[in-house]
């Protein structure tokens, strides 16, 4: 059942189905580890196929990732970064998360699946920026923070001409309005968001897109305490 949902969902997005066995194995490892640590609230395989894998699959359906250096900020159990890597193997991927146990799990998955060019990094985005400023073509992130906070965590990591793609629910008008100022202070430009439904469902989602148009001033990102207390 999960396999069918995945195959149909990918095919509807015109994405190759070669990745399906790897996605199924990833789910097997995730469901097993989820028994002993908190990785996801989703336990039903069909729900996982839709809400984790096919939701992540929206990214390569909407943007050309081929050969790009990609960072997934606050990847948790690997979403959207790992499905993206499985579906578009040419990317060079960094999975970044502040929780060590989650990063350890991701390393196990990458090894099990034999994925090349994936780095699993334990750390906070605002600290990671010190060494990896403008080191990526694309940053992606799902379910980590509000847009003004996310912009400060992610835009410093993207090179000029690159993009930051934030996966959001459709209910983000207020956040979008609030983010405009932050995005321009950080050297970005807010593009028109793309609304879509998760493939094979009627669940609406929104991709918020920021293009990096100039270098981020060196004073950003600030410490997380400052970002949180006083979002741009
Ligand atoms: N992106 C995943 C996980 C969302 S949960 C998904 O959509 O399923 C949010 C994750 O972001 C947590 O794992 C948390 O550890 C991480 N996180 C929150 N703030 C962070 C920061 N500043 N730097 C890196 N990771 C962060």
Q: Dump pLDDT digits (tens) for 1-26.
A: 999 999 999 999 999 999 999 999 99
> What is the distance in A from the centroid of ligand 1 to the CA of 36?
19
Q: What is the mean pLDDT of the chain?
A: 96
d(CA 150, CA 142): 10
d(CA 95, CA 142): 12
The protein residue whose alpha carbon is closest to atom 3 in ligand 1 is 76
Answer whether 127 contacts ligand 1 (Cβ < 6 A). no
**Confidence label for 171 from pLDDT (cuts 50, 70 and 90):** confident
Ligand 1, pocket-test mutation among 59, 97, 140, 168, most atoms within 8 A of CB:
97
Give the per-residue pLDDT at 226.
Answer: 94
Give the per-residue pLDDT at 174.
Answer: 86
The per-type count for the chain, helices as H runs and strands as E runs, is: 10, 8
**Confidence label for 91 from pLDDT (cuts 50, 70 and 90):** very high
Predicted model pTM: 0.97
d(CA 162, CA 164): 7
Lowest-pLDDT range of 27-41, 55-69, 127-141, 164-178? 164-178
Strands 194-197 and 204-212: antiparallel
Answer whether 79 contacts ligand 1 (Cβ < 6 A). yes
The protein residue whose alpha carbon is closest to atom 8 in ligand 1 is 79
| Beta strands in the chain, from DSSP E residues, in sequence order | 69-73, 92-97, 118-122, 136-142, 158-168, 188-190, 194-197, 204-212
Residue 172 has pLDDT above 90, yes or no: no
> What is the distance in A from the centroid of ligand 1 to the CA of 222?
18
End-to-end CA distance of the chain: 45
């Amino acid at each position: 059942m999960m396999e069918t949902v995945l195959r149909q969902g990918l095919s509807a997005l015109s994405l190759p189905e070669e990745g399906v066995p790897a996605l199924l194995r990833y789910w097997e490892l995730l469901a097993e580890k989820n028994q002993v640590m908190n990785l996801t609230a989703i336990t039903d395989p069909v729900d996982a196929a839709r809400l984790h894998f096919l939701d992540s699959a929206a990214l390569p359906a909407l943007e050309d990732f081929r050969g790009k250096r990609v960072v997934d900020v606050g990847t948790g159990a690997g979403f959207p970064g790992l499905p993206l890597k499985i579906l578009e193997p040419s990317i060079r991927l960094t999975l970044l998360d502040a929780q060590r146990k989650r990063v350890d799990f991701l390393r196990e998955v990458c090894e099990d699946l034999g994925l090349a060019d994936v780095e699993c990094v334990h750390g906070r985005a605002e600290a990671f920026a010190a060494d990896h400023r403008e080191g990526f073509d694309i940053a992606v992130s799902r379910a980590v923070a509000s847009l003004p906070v996310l912009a400060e965590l992610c835009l410093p990591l993207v090179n000029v001409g690159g993009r930051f793609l934030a996966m959001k629910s459709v209910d983000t008008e207020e956040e979008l309005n609030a983010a405009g100022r932050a995005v321009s202070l950080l050297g970005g430009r807010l593009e028109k968001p793309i609304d879509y439904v998760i493939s094979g469902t009627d669940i609406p989602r929104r991709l918020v897109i920021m293009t990096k148009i100039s270098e981020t001033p060196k004073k950003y990102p600030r410490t997380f305490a400052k970002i949180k207390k006083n979002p741009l």
